Amino acid sequence: MKKLISVFLFVFFSFFLFAQEEVPSQEENLDPLTGFPVIEEKPFVVYNEGLATSWVTRVMKQSGRSNFVFSDFLAGAYFGITARNMEPMDLTVRLTAYYPLSSKFNGHPQVSSSPLHYALDLYVAPTLRLTMWNYVYINLSGGLHFFFQNSERWNYIDLGIGGLAGLELPLSRRWTILIDGIASYDYGNFGTNRNLEPYNHVWQYQLSLGVRYSRAGENQYSYIDSRRKG
């Protein structure tokens, strides 16, 4: 029993002395103006851009007959901003401009009388960035999704939740290839369709291929130059 007490006291006082030695170093890292620890890895912003496609499905439930299913295929370009080194996760804001290429009702193509239609997609979410041995980076996020579409009959306004899964391929020191997929489920009755054509379900899938050029967020490892960056 005495040996056990002696070992406990030795460990306790050793930890106490070690903690006392660590206090000065912690105080040296405090910001003299705020009193909080100095942020070693400063937050910064990277910019992404690329091409995107989207599949939108809207469903009106019917009793005694088949449901009404409206589907649109769109293509466009996106621009995204990601704030890095944020605590506890990064933040992604992504805006996409689309042009509707085709529309179907219950699988039958619909012809538009005017080509002047467009759509805007906004995605905002905290993002978790993982790495696979620095060869590939994986982005996972979930957050707010907003979609506006000007169509032949209505101005759709959809609001809901979405999730993103993406890959970052570090091509070179400053260039990165981005492959992203987004799935969302929305409430689709904020637009002009809400009274005459309310939808029971609205969902959307997006696929995109983009690039990033960044000096602030340089790749420490890359395919073209695999040597470790200092």
Q: Is residue 228 part of a domain?
A: no
Q: What is the mean pLDDT of the chain?
A: 88
- pTM here is 0.83
CATH number at residue 143: 2.40.160.20
Q: Is residue 52 part of a domain?
A: yes
Same domain, 185 and 199: yes
Same domain, 134 and 198: yes
The predicted-structure confidence for 17-66, as pLDDT tens digits, reads as follows 544 544 444 455 887 877 788 777 889 999 999 999 999 999 999 998 99
As for how many domains the chain has, the answer is 2
Q: Which residues of 52-63 are buried (b: 16+ CB within 10 A; e: fewer)?
A: bbbebbbbeeee
When pLDDT is cut at 50, 70 and 90, the band that residue 96 belongs to is very high
Same domain, 17 and 96: no
Same domain, 31 and 134: no
Q: Is residue 182 part of a domain?
A: yes
Assess whether pLDDT exceeds 80 at residue 162: yes
d(CA 188, CA 202): 6
When pLDDT is cut at 50, 70 and 90, the band that residue 15 belongs to is very low
Contacts of 107 (CB under 8 A, 6+ apart): 69
Assess whether pLDDT exceeds 60 at residue 185: yes
Same domain, 80 and 8: no
Domain limits for position 175: 44-213
Confidence (pLDDT) at 9: 52
Peptide bond into 115 cis (omega under 30): no
Same domain, 116 and 145: yes
DSSP 43-107: -EEEEEEEEEEEEEEEEE--SSSPPEEEEEEEEEEEEEEEEES-SSSEEEEEEEEEEEEEEEETT
Q: Is residue 104 part of a domain?
A: yes
Same domain, 114 and 169: yes
Same domain, 94 and 123: yes
Same domain, 34 and 114: no
Same domain, 177 and 132: yes
Assess whether pLDDT exceeds 90 at residue 78: yes
Residue pair 122/158 in contact by the 8 Å Cβ criterion: no
In the block, tokens 């696979």 appear at 132
Same domain, 178 and 198: yes
Q: Is residue 220 part of a domain?
A: no
